[in-house]
Structure 1
């Protein structure tokens, strides 16, 4: 009877060579190692805006006339100057219309700048990481370094 190997139970015949094959199996195990949460904060900030303001007023110059006229005339322009006639009736033997004075209005423009606070909403995203002790800690972002 041929002898057998005591370790493998395979015959110790030198012409028989046992072949053994190992196989690997990969198993994926999912486990939570941490957590992130994102929230959006909204703030209202006052930002100063420069506004340009254009105002117009008039230089007033009174010119006494005392001229008799046949009829009243509506206000008129002489270039940029607005001329507003002022009349009065005077009794003489006959009634006459006298141009008492002219009020001349010359426009002047004033340009000014002023700053007005305008409320603007700004939002920023906050990313927080769950810590081992159960608290949340904000994760710094690239934009936090530039602000």
Structure 2
């Protein structure tokens, strides 16, 4: 190596000689503690749950309506000028029936009326039905008792 290629590295003695006062710093690494939190599963107990389905026979009750019609013929046999309108008197609907009759002159003759009465009756119908009802049975088991799937694998 040549003297020109060498780098000049200041030495502590040299800096004291030049009169420049520099402070020497030293870095001291500090230690830091950290906390970590973990969790684990601990079996404190077990339970067994069963469902039981029961069937119950019951009669379902409901009110149902049935409507029937009663028709009564009422003979009239009377001459009229025009056909009467359909009319209602109370719970009876009156439907006039007319016929043309040939005479020296044409006239309307009211032959009869049909009286239609509506009646509504109510009856109770009973139909057997099957209903299902479930209930759960819960049984506490000691924590060291193996679970059913563990017993099968053994």
TM-score by length of 2: 0.53
Cα deviation per residue 1:3-25 (whole Å; 9 max; x = unaligned)? xxxxxxxxxxxxxxxxxxxxxxx
Gaps of 5+ in 1: 1-29, 137-147
- Offset of 1:75 from its aligned partner? 1.3
Task: Tell me the matched-pair count.
Answer: 106
Following the alignment from structure 2 to structure 1, what is the Cα–Cα distance between the partners of residues 103 and 84? 21
Q: Does 1:75 align with 2:86?
A: yes
Structure 2 residue aligned with 1:84 = 95
Q: Does 1:99 align with 2:110?
A: yes
- Offset of 1:123 from its aligned partner? 1.9
Q: Does 1:39 align with 2:50?
A: yes
**Which is helix-richer, 1 or 2?**
2
Following the alignment from structure 1 to structure 2, what is the Cα–Cα distance between the partners of residues 122 and 97? 71
RMSD: 3.5
Q: 1:77 to 1:50 in 2, by over 3 A?
A: same
- Offset of 1:45 from its aligned partner? 5.0
Q: Does 1:50 align with 2:71?
A: no
Q: 1:75 to 1:46 in 2, by over 3 A?
A: farther
Q: 1:103 to 1:115 in 2, by over 3 A?
A: same
Bigger Rg over Cα: 2
Following the alignment from structure 2 to structure 1, what is the Cα–Cα distance between the partners of residues 133 and 68? 40
- SS for the counterpart of 2:100 is strand
Following the alignment from structure 1 to structure 2, what is the Cα–Cα distance between the partners of residues 117 and 74? 49
Structure 2 residue aligned with 1:124 = 135
Q: 1:96 to 1:46 in 2, by over 3 A?
A: farther
Following the alignment from structure 1 to structure 2, what is the Cα–Cα distance between the partners of residues 84 and 43? 59
TM-score by length of 1: 0.55
Gaps of 5+ in 2: 1-41, 149-154
